[in-house]
Structure 1
Amino acid sequence: MIRLFIRQYISMMLFVIILQLLLNLILFLDKGFHDVSLLYLNIIWFTLVAGYFSLRYVKDRKMMKPYVKFKGNYFDVIHEDYKEQLANKNAKVQEQKQIVLERQDELLAWVHEMKSPLTAMQLLLEKVEKSEVKERIENEWLRLYLLLDQQLHATRLMTIELDNRIEKVHVKDVLIQEIKALRTWCFEKKIAFDLEVDDLTVHSDTKWLGFIVRQILSNAVKYSDVGGEVRITAHMTNEQAVLIIQDEGIGIKSEDLPRVFRKSYTGTIGRETSAATGMGLYLAKQAAESLHILLAIESTEGVGTTVKITFPKMNDYQKTLGM
């Protein structure tokens, strides 16, 4: 322990010794200090220096104790130890990343396996005669499909930069496709859609844009009253494409509104009905940010909810691809 302490402060100790020798030399050569006791001054000086290094040693020995076995001074040892710990941490991080990727692949494989029987069920349902039981089965099938789709995109969201293709997308085509996917649910609740959509084309990823729209439309249908209406408009504003989806549902409480995009946040209504997972809007928000799309929500409890989707004028993908 003492050896490590000396190695650490050897330069300071040498400086103090040299300084003391110079002071003694000056006092010895200068006749004005002949009456001063050199022994007395040296004792005082030594006492102060020894006291300082003793306090320093008492304070530092606890920190130095783990590094006594190493060679070199304390700071060099700490630096080497830090580099070693950092390397170990980086290795563990890489190991955890690999585990996450493996689990992600397993989850993707599971979702795809689950989609196969769902597709088979859909084909079988098409052959069943129309009845109330068939409608209920179709609705439950749709709920299951949406949950699996949500899980699939949640898994892919971690690598969205590797899973997108920016191209020209017709907004109206995406809307019609997603409305058709929800038609059995809409028939059950007698939900009507009012579309006032210009012939808008945006640069985005068709699949991820469809996912974003799907989450918003499914919420609009889920929280609308029977016989309600969902109004969809799309237009250009300040050289930006804007898509607005407005429902006449139960709305969102004012205290819940600032937190609707938080992960797993279901809100007051979601907890009361147990119909929400708290993931839909969160995933939609994350995907939108990756595509440089702005999502904004306005809602009044008992009146309805309005979701505004604003596309960028020229996003980073367009600049990169020279579109």
Structure 2
Amino acid sequence: MALVKIENIEVGEFPLLLAPMEDVSDPPFRAVCKENGADLMYTEFISSEGLIRNAAKSVQKLDIYDYERPIGIQIFGDKIESMREAAAIAEGAQPELIDINYGCPVKKVACKGAGAGILLDIPKMQKMTEEIVKQVSLPVTVKTRLGWDDSTIRIVEVAKRLQDVGIKALTIHGRTRKQMYKGVADWTKIAEVKNHPDIHIPIFGNGDIDSPQKALEYKNEYGVDGIMIGRASIGYPWIFKEIKHYMATGETLPPPTMAERVDVAKRHLQFSLEWKSERQGIYEMRRHYTNYFRGIPNFKPYRTQLVESEDPQFLFDLLDEIGHKFEDTFMMA
């Protein structure tokens, strides 16, 4: 297979991308995903208004580290001029690419005309993208959804118009905004874009990939250039390694041992404490613990302590205790 390139950036033969997820895809989480095989990662989405106003939370999301490369900074907003200015600020942080969020379905974003909301105004979407492409010298990519609802699916037209104004890759989540994260992602529509004779940029599929078997099945059936993984990676960064191994060998890797789970959880927590405030670092780790230790019988008392404690040392000691008490849980027979 030929290497997939986003303009001049090589991202592998069949790249696995880490989705930009709010309060998830921060540097601590990206670190453990990169270690486990993520080929291209994105920051959490960053408000264009926050960036141009120098809001601390937005500016902090520009933090990127050399070991993460290649990495894209993702921005969102509903005002063309603000998005253009924000793209220039993001370029100053020296990522490999700038990504535009046209897919976020949450009400406070989409109903203001940003994220997936712009799918109701495709000419504006095209104009905004064109202005951002003109503004920056880095490759610009887009993540979007199929449409606002079933009656507004024009994803092939969207892809052609965005390609025409200069984007270098497109990721498509196979749901409409109305679906949110319910129902099943429709990859046949993603395949229509990928297989259209006028489309020449890489097309990445997103939605419902939660196992190595499904990743290979969708790769073969829909012909996409790579896959973006979101929710299945939360608390389970090993998903990238497992998919790559299965695609290369046809064999399923054994699940990570308890020692591996505890080690990654502790390093993730340590980085989270260092990168954010202690309180925020502890709080934002809580969404990951359930998946780090999914499948352990009688784990509820420990999970309760993990998500309620605000004492870092207690958490590290508790993780060690979990490692010792359940050390044989994920051992292969």
Do both share a fold (TM > 0.5)?
A: no
Higher RCO (CA 8 Å, separation ≥ 6 residues) = 2
Query: Larger Cα Rg: Structure 1 or Structure 2?
Result: 1
Provide TM-score, normalisation by structure 1.
Answer: 0.22
Task: Kindly indicate which of the two structures has a greater share of residues assigned to helix.
Answer: 1
Provide TM-score, normalisation by structure 2.
Answer: 0.22
